[in-house]
Amino acid sequence: MFAFKLANVGVAKRTFSSSATVANGVKVAVLGAAGGIGQPLSLLLKHNKSISHLSLYDIVNTPGVAADISHINTASKKKRLFIKFINF
């Protein structure tokens, strides 16, 4: 009975391993990107080399965040960064 439970825990550990996702790039979503915490957080996340896909969401318009993020120069050869803005 206990051996069966331990076997299932081992399988769960391998499926949620972060080593495989870092090599391929990480997808990150920032909820509340136009807020006081979301805007500087999204600016910091754009500098991270392990993030390949950055999605920014907020319930208000985000033209200021889009302008700030577009001014950050990142190496396009090393990192592809896709930014989605969705307004609800």
Q: What is the fold of 23-87?
A: Rossmann fold (3.40.50)
Query: What is the pLDDT, as a whole number, of residue 71?
Result: 83
pTM, two decimal places: 0.58
- pLDDT of 67 above 90: no
pLDDT at 33 over 50: yes
Is the pLDDT score of 40 beyond 60?
yes
Residue 51 CB: number of other CB atoms within 10 A? 17
pLDDT at 81 over 50: no
Q: Let me know: does 51 contact 22? Beta carbons within 8 Å.
A: no
